[in-house]
Amino acid sequence: MTSSSRALARSYATFNAARSNRSPTAIVMLNMGGPATVEGTGPFLKNLFSDGDLIPLPFQSFLAPWIARRRTPKIEQQYRDIGGGSPILRYTQKQGQGMVSLLDELHPETAPHKFYVAFRYTHPLTEETAREMRKDGIKRAVAFTQYPQYSCSTTGSSLNELYRKGNAGEMGDVEWSVIDRWGTHHGFVEAVSQRVRSALNKFPPENRSEAVILFSAHSLPMSVVNRGDPYVLEVSASVSAVMEHLGHSNPYRLVWQSQVGPAAWMGPQTSDALKGLARLGKNKVVLVPIAFTSDHIETLYELDLEYGKEAEELGLDVVRAESLNDSPVFIRALADIVSQHLRDYRSGEIGPTSTQMGLRCPGCINATCDVQKKWFAS
Q: Among 68, 44, 60, 176, which Cα is nearest to 120's? A: 44
The catalytic residue among 107, 113, 185, 296 is 185
Residue 16 φ then ψ, to 5°: -70, -35
Closest alpha carbon to 256 in 213, 219, 304, 298: 219
Residue tagged active-site, from 218, 296, 336, 341: 336
**Contact yes or no for 222/261 (Cβ under 8 A):** no
Residue 218 is a catalytic residue: no
Phi, psi dihedrals of residue 361, rounded to the nearest 5°:
-60, 140
The greatest distance separating any two alpha carbons of the chain, rounded to the nearest whole angstrom, comes to 78
Given strand 25-31, what is the order of strands in its sheet?
113-119, 25-31, 140-145, 175-179
Does the active-site annotation cover 107?
no
Which residue in 347, 369, 366, 348 sits closest to 358, CA to CA?
369
Q: Nearest to residue 116, comparing CAs of 49, 174, 56?
A: 174
User: Half-sphere exposure of 191 toward its Cβ, with a 13 Å CA cutoff?
Assistant: 27
Three-point CA angle 258, 309, 317, nearest 5°: 105
Task: Tell me the torsion sign for CA atoms 178, 351, 184, 220.
Answer: positive
Structural contact between residues 323 and 294, judged by C-beta atoms closer than 8 angstroms: yes
CA angle, 15 as apex, 13 and 19 as ends, to 5°?
Answer: 115
Angstrom CA distances, 316 to 209, 212, 258, 273, stand at 16, 11, 21, 12
Q: Where are the alpha helices (DSSP H) in 24-176?
A: 41-49, 60-81, 88-106, 126-135, 155-167
Residues annotated as catalytic are 185, 336
